[in-house]
């Protein structure tokens, strides 16, 4: 089978052309022109660093917050810049006062770093983490809502759940779950690391207490450009993990929430300044279809491509889709056909640089970058595809063929 070409949009990215890159989900990917915009911000900063940090940094941050506020439909001054979603989650836990016996609810699909932070911060206060088990594969979004609400008790103080889960790649029905939890007096922390730019995000309508996301994933800004939204009435006394100079010197006319988060010690925040550039560039990448905005068209394009990729792989491997279409955005995780357990155990002993020797083989032999993960609890071996505008249908056909060939080769080992 011929090595597949990416789509024509790939010219906007600086990818290695010898690799079929099907893992936008892990670290995103920034178009060349957005990287140039970040360089321009850095050049401005480096011309006169003192003036930059005293006079101009705030304006650049506010400009980025305003663009995000429009994109996410929330007040611009509810948004704190933060390097990544992991730190945002830790920050929310650090600001959550719990008593012994209190409970924090999470799901079994939460990202490992977020689970680690939940356990660390919650156990320090003598409280406990309760896990709502979400099935995978899954038949309906309602199963998620049921699993979460079934675990709410009078001691539940906070619930953390992903908007789009990481390794299982599911869009969770947060629009249904958040109001149900908040109504029961449970504060909600939504880990939207993958969501903005993949699915519509309307923070005004959602009503979550806290929402964090990585703009570097599907908005395609540079790495280090995450945000933490804190609902206005929860901002008083809400502080970053580290306090800098202005913690003890509030600025006249500026909320302490803004002051403390926008300067947490010296840092290069050019990735955050470049968010409006990324929003503009990605929003203009795919021509609006049927009167839809550029962003709506881009999200639709990526989702349709992802569903096509899923269908190609499921058909070639003779497997079932993992979830209803409504729970799929631009990443999709499929459960690979299982091997007999003795073979599975032997295969798991093979050395790997990544997570599974199959991942290494796909990269080294086929030049495909795609994650292969095993779910510890169920033993399901999975493959998660991503679909960004630079990917092509031929790339999924090539992956399907590679998987079929390598899984067959494994059966003979
Ligand atoms: C759902 C989810 N949450 C949190 C994170 C953590 O992001 P970061 O490593 O940028 O903090 C990721 C990373 O992929 C993720 O997928």
pTM of the model: 0.97
Q: Among positive and negative, which fits the CA dihedral 344, 349, 351, 356?
A: positive
Q: Which of 27, 109, 113, 218 to mutate to test the pocket of ligand 1 (most atoms within 8 A of CB)?
A: 113
Q: Categorize the per-residue pLDDT at 354 as very low, low, confident or very high, splitting at 50, 70 and 90.
A: very high
Q: Given strand 156-162, what is the order of strands in its sheet?
A: 79-82, 226-230, 210-214, 187-191, 156-162, 103-107, 128-132
Atom of ligand 1 minimally distant from the CA of 165:
1
Please name the residue whose Cα sits nearest to atom 12 of ligand 1: 193
Q: Categorize the per-residue pLDDT at 246 as very low, low, confident or very high, splitting at 50, 70 and 90.
A: confident
Atom of ligand 1 minimally distant from the CA of 25:
14
Question: Does residue 110 line the site of ligand 1, with CB under 6 A?
Answer: no
For residues 237-251, give the mean pLDDT.
92
pLDDT digits (tens, 9 = 90+) for 113-141: 999 999 999 999 999 999 999 999 999 99
pLDDT at position 287: 82
User: Three-state SS for 121?
Assistant: helix
CA of 126 to the centre of ligand 1 (A): 26
Question: Does residue 84 line the site of ligand 1, with CB under 6 A?
Answer: yes
Model confidence at 288: pLDDT above 90:
no
Q: Which of 29, 214, 216 to mutate to test the pocket of ligand 1 (most atoms within 8 A of CB)?
A: 214
Model confidence at 376: pLDDT above 90:
no
Q: Which of 27, 194, 217 to mutate to test the pocket of ligand 1 (most atoms within 8 A of CB)?
A: 194
Q: Categorize the per-residue pLDDT at 83 as very low, low, confident or very high, splitting at 50, 70 and 90.
A: very high
Percent of all residues in the chain with a pLDDT value above 70, rounded to a whole number: 100
pLDDT at position 13: 98
Q: What is the DSSP string of 326-345?
A: GG-SSEEEEEPPPPPHHHHH
Angle at 162 between CA 184 and CA 93, to 5 degrees: 70
Model confidence at 247: pLDDT above 90:
no
Question: Does residue 307 line the site of ligand 1, with CB under 6 A?
Answer: no
Chain mean pLDDT for the chain: 97
- Higher pLDDT: 106 or 378? It is 106
pLDDT digits (tens, 9 = 90+) for 177-220: 999 999 999 999 999 999 999 999 999 999 999 999 999 999 99
Question: Does residue 114 line the site of ligand 1, with CB under 6 A?
Answer: yes
Question: Does residue 162 line the site of ligand 1, with CB under 6 A?
Answer: yes
CA of 408 to the centre of ligand 1 (A): 33
CA of 15 to the centre of ligand 1 (A): 22
For residues 93-107, give the mean pLDDT.
98
pLDDT at position 250: 86
Using the CB atoms, write b or e for 204-218: b if 16+ within 10 Å.
eebbbbbbbbbbbbb
For residues 43-61, give the mean pLDDT.
97
Strands 381-386 and 372-374: antiparallel
- Higher pLDDT: 318 or 246? It is 318
Please name the residue whose Cα sits nearest to atom 14 of ligand 1: 26
- Higher pLDDT: 1 or 166? It is 166
Q: What is the DSSP string of 264-292?
A: SSS---HHHHTHHHHHHHHHTTS---TT-
Question: Does residue 117 line the site of ligand 1, with CB under 6 A?
Answer: no
Model confidence at 319: pLDDT above 80:
yes
Model confidence at 289: pLDDT above 80:
no
Question: Does residue 189 line the site of ligand 1, with CB under 6 A?
Answer: no
CA of 212 to the centre of ligand 1 (A): 10
C-alpha to C-alpha distance for 172 and 162, rounded to whole angstroms: 7
Question: Does residue 223 line the site of ligand 1, with CB under 6 A?
Answer: no
pLDDT at position 150: 98
Do 190 and 212 touch, CB atoms closer than 8 A? yes
pLDDT digits (tens, 9 = 90+) for 138-189: 999 999 999 999 999 999 999 999 999 999 999 999 999 999 999 999 999 9
C-alpha to C-alpha distance for 149 and 153, rounded to whole angstroms: 9
Q: Which of 85, 118, 160, 219 to mutate to test the pocket of ligand 1 (most atoms within 8 A of CB)?
A: 85
Please name the residue whose Cα sits nearest to atom 16 of ligand 1: 166
pLDDT at position 1: 87
pLDDT at position 377: 86
pLDDT at position 94: 98
Domains parsed from the chain with CATH numbers? 8-31+292-411 (3.90.1150.10), 33-279 (3.40.640.10)
Q: Categorize the per-residue pLDDT at 248 as very low, low, confident or very high, splitting at 50, 70 and 90.
A: confident
Please name the residue whose Cα sits nearest to atom 1 of ligand 1: 166
Model confidence at 290: pLDDT above 80:
no
Question: Does residue 41 line the site of ligand 1, with CB under 6 A?
Answer: no
């Amino acid at each position: 089978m011929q090595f597949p070409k990416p789509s024509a949009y790939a010219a906007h990215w600086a990818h290695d052309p010898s690799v079929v890159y099907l893992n936008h989900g892990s670290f995103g990917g920034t178009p060349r022109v957005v990287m140039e915009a970040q360089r321009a911000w850095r050049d401005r900063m480096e011309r006169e660093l003192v003036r930059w940090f005293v006079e101009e940094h705030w304006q650049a941050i506010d400009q980025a917050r305003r663009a995000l506020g429009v994109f996410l439909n929330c007040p611009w001054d509810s948004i704190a810049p933060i390097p990544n979603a992991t730190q945002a989650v830790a920050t929310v836990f650090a600001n959550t006062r719990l008593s012994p016996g209190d409970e924090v609810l999470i799901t079994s699909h939460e990202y490992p770093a977020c689970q680690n932070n939940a356990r660390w911060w919650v156990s320090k206060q003598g409280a406990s983490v309760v896990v709502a088990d979400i099935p995978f594969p899954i038949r309906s979004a309602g199963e998620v809502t049921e699993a979460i609400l079934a675990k709410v008790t009078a001691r539940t103080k906070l619930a953390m759940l992903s908007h789009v889960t990481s390794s299982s790649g599911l869009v969770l029905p947060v629009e249904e779950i958040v109001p149900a939890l908040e109504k029961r007096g449970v504060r909600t922390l939504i880990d939207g690391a993958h969501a903005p730019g993949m699915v519509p995000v309307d923070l005004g309508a959602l009503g979550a207490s806290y929402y964090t996301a990585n703009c570097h994933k599907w908005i395609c800004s540079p790495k280090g450009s995450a945000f933490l939204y804190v609902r206005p009435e929860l901002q008083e006394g809400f502080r970053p993990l580290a306090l800098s100079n202005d913690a003890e010197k509030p600025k006249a006319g500026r909320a302490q929430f803004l002051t403390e988060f926008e300067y947490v010690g010296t840092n290069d925040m050019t990735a955050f300044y470049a968010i409006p550039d990324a929003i503009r560039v990605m929003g203009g990448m795919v021509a609006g279809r049927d009167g839809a905005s550029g962003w709506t068209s881009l999200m639709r394009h990526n989702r349709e491509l992802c569903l096509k990729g899923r269908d190609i792989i499921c058909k070639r491997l003779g497997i079932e889709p993992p979830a209803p279409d409504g729970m799929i955005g631009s990443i999709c995780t499929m459960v690979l056909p299982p091997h007999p357990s003795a073979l599975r155990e032997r295969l798991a002993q093979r050395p790997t640089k990544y997570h599974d020797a199959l991942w290494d083989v796909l990269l080294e032999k086929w030049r495909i970058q795609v994650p292969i993960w095993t779910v510890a609890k169920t033993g399901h071996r999975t493959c998660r595809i991503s679909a960004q505008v630079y990917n092509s249908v031929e790339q999924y056909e090539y992956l399907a063929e590679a998987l079929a060939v390598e899984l067959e080769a494994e059966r003979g080992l």
